C-alpha cells in the first residue's frame, strides 16, 4: 500500500497512518487527547509520542479533562518519574492548564472545527514540499486557544492537530488513503 512520505515501516506508525491520521474526528474526548498529545510532541517526533500513547492513557486517566484539571503538583511530580511518558514538567503542567481551559468551553468540538468552517478541508498535495507546516487557519486556532488559556498550542502544533484529526486531509495524492478520504 502506498503511504505518505512520513510513514515509516514501523507497524504502529503504519496502523496510525492507515486507520487514524486524517480521519475526521468529532468526539470531544478524542480531540482533547490529540490536542494534549500534539503538545507533548513539541520538539520531538510523532512516533515517540505514539509509542507512549497507551501509557499516557493510563497515567492521564483516559484523558478525562475533569480529572486532569485537578492534577496536583505532587501528581505532576510523580509523573515526572514515569519513563513511559515524556518527562517534561512544562508539558505536564500544560496538561492541567489545558484541561482547565477545555472545561470552560461551551462546545469544544464546534469551536475547534470552526477554524475549517465545520467541514474537512481536503488538500491535494502531490509532494511533501507543497505541504505547509502552518496555515492561516492553524494560526487563527493557535491565537484563539492561547487567548482561552491553552498552552503548547502554537500554530505548528495546531496544524499537526488539524491534520491528525481530519480537519484538514493532507494525505498526498500518491497515498492510498488520499483516495479513500478525499470525499469525507
Going through the chain in order, the beta strands assigned E by DSSP cover: 121-122, 168-169
Q: Can you tell me the distance from the alpha carbon of 83 to that of 27, in angstroms, rounded to the nearest whole number?
A: 29
Query: Does 142 fall in a domain?
Result: yes
Query: Does 14 fall in a domain?
Result: no
Query: Does 64 fall in a domain?
Result: yes
Query: Does 10 fall in a domain?
Result: no
Query: Does 16 fall in a domain?
Result: no
- The pLDDT of residue 84: 98
78-98 per-position pLDDT tens digit: 999 999 999 999 999 999 999
- The pLDDT of residue 1: 77
Q: CA–CA distance from 165 to each of 75, 83, 97 (Å)?
A: 29, 27, 21
Asked if 21 and 181 touch (Cβ cutoff 8 Å), the reply is no
Residue 66 annotated to the active site: no
Q: How many helices (H) and strands (E) does the chain have?
A: 10, 2
Domain extent, residue 75, equals 23-182
- The pLDDT of residue 128: 87
Residues of the chain with pLDDT under 50: none
Query: Does 151 fall in a domain?
Result: yes
Catalytically annotated residue among 6, 20, 46, 75: 46
Residue 21 annotated to the active site: no
- Any known ligand binding at 175? yes
Catalytically annotated residue among 38, 137, 159, 178: 38
- The pLDDT of residue 184: 64
Q: CA–CA distance from 96 to each of 4, 91, 113, 123, 170 (Å)?
A: 34, 9, 23, 34, 30
Secondary structure string (H, E, C) spanning 100-118 = HHHHCCCCHHHHHHHCCCC
For residue 165, the domain's CATH number is: 1.10.340.30
Residue 113 annotated to the active site: no
Asked if 184 and 170 touch (Cβ cutoff 8 Å), the reply is no
Amino acid at each position: 500500500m502506498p503511504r505518505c512520505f512520513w510513514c515509516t515501516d514501523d507497524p504502529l506508525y503504519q496502523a496510525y497512518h492507515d486507520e487514524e491520521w486524517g480521519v475526521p474526528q468529532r468526539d470531544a474526548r478524542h480531540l482533547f487527547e490529540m490536542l494534549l498529545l500534539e503538545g507533548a510532541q513539541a520538539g520531538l517526533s510523532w512516533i515517540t509520542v505514539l509509542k507512549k500513547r497507551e501509557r499516557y492513557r493510563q497515567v492521564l486517566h483516559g484523558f478525562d479533562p475533569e480529572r486532569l484539571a485537578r492534577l496536583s503538583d505532587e501528581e505532576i511530580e510523580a509523573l515526572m518519574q514515569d519513563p513511559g511518558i515524556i518527562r517534561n514538567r512544562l508539558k505536564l503542567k500544560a496538561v492541567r492548564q489545558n484541561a482547565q481551559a477545555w472545561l470552560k468551553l461551551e462546545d469544544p468540538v464546534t469551536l475547534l472545527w470552526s477554524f475549517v468552517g465545520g467541514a474537512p478541508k481536503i488538500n491535494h498535495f502531490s509532494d511533501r514540499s507543497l505541504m505547509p507546516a502552518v496555515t492561516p487557519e492553524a494560526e487563527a486556532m493557535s491565537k484563539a486557544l492561547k487567548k482561552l488559556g491553552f498552552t503548547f498550542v502554537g500554530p505548528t502544533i495546531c496544524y499537526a492537530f488539524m491534520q491528525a484529526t481530519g480537519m484538514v486531509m493532507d494525505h498526498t495524492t500518491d497515498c492510498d488513503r488520499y483516495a479513500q478520504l478525499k470525499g469525507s
